[in-house]
Amino acid sequence: MKKKLLLAGIIIFSMLAGGLPLANAASDTPSSVKRAKFEKTGHVFWDIPVNEKLVALTFDDGPDPKYTAQILDALAKYNAKATFFVIGEEAERYPELVKRQAREGHEVANHTYRHHFRDGHSPAVLKRELDKSDKVIKDLTGYSPSLFRPIAGYYDKEIVDTALASGYNVILWSWHQETRDWSRPGANKIVENVISDTRPGDVIIFHDAGGDRTQTVKALERILELLYKNGYKCTTVSDLLYRANSFLPATLR
Ligand SMILES: [Zn+2]
């Protein structure tokens, strides 16, 4: 009983924090089985294996008036490109930051309009949330986003089908790259998580909003330094997808 309560507590906390892959918390299907089923669609991704030393840094929940600009500054220093899964409502509030993301070559992607966890379960509401956020992003960047990251990484068939029907690829993140930066484990710990097991095609999750992100910014500067020292470059998720496809035999595309 106590164990169950503890699990429920962890689930609720992580839903609020928006960081854990909750995909299977309430299901008996093992994560890897469920993942394989969705990967077969060819439109749901965790890792995006490529031949080159490239990774995709991704930032959820922004833009944030304090931290997003600091993150953009750090990325610019290394000419690193990233993907920002913005919340539509926040993008409207801080349009200049989204414009700057696009202007500096980053990818702006859809993370719903309001980021209300419970809404994610209703296809009709999710469709509205995606459309509304799409419009905000298009008005600010000039293009419609093609990537969607579900809130708190929670996905099921309805969510995936709704996103796919709206023309999105669904992007989760590499399981071995769970930075848990939302839990503020210390900048060194975030750096260690990423650097200790970097592989070509990793999709690495961070948060540029939703609380004090000082540790994320500090960790990012060190991560960029170490990645580049080790011959890695940072690109957008869509660029990884393009490269992953371009070396597949035509029959598998
Ligand atoms: Zn989120």
From first to last of its 253 residues, the chain has per-residue pLDDT tens of: 334 444 444 443 344 444 444 444 445 678 899 999 999 999 999 999 999 999 999 999 999 999 999 999 999 999 999 999 999 999 999 999 999 999 999 999 999 999 997 655 689 999 999 999 999 999 999 999 999 999 999 999 999 999 999 999 999 999 999 899 999 999 999 999 999 999 999 999 999 999 999 999 999 999 999 999 999 999 999 999 999 987 555 555 4
Whether 87 maps to a domain, the answer reads: yes
Q: Which residues are catalytic?
A: 60, 207
How far is 76 from 6, CA to CA, in rounded Å? 42
Triad 244, 248, 250: Cα angle to 5°: 135
Whether 18 maps to a domain, the answer reads: no
The letter for the amino acid at 96 is E
Whether 94 maps to a domain, the answer reads: yes
DSSP state of 83: E
Whether 105 maps to a domain, the answer reads: yes
Domain region containing 129: 46-247
From the list 101, 129, 127, the residue with the least C-alpha distance to 115 is 129
Q: How far is the CA of 59 from the centre of ligand 1 (A)?
A: 9
Task: Report how many domains make up the chain.
Answer: 1
Q: Near ion ligand 1, which residues have CB within 5 Å?
A: 18, 60-61
CATH code of the domain in which 81 resides: 3.20.20.370
Whether 187 maps to a domain, the answer reads: yes
How far is 148 from 47, CA to CA, in rounded Å? 15
Beta carbons within 8 Å of 65's beta carbon, 6+ residues apart: 94, 97
Q: How far is the CA of 60 from the centre of ligand 1 (A)?
A: 5
Whether 40 maps to a domain, the answer reads: no
Whether 31 maps to a domain, the answer reads: no
How far is 240 from 54, CA to CA, in rounded Å? 8
Q: How far is the CA of 211 from the centre of ligand 1 (A)?
A: 12
How far is 224 from 84, CA to CA, in rounded Å? 16
- pTM of the predicted model, to two decimals? 0.87
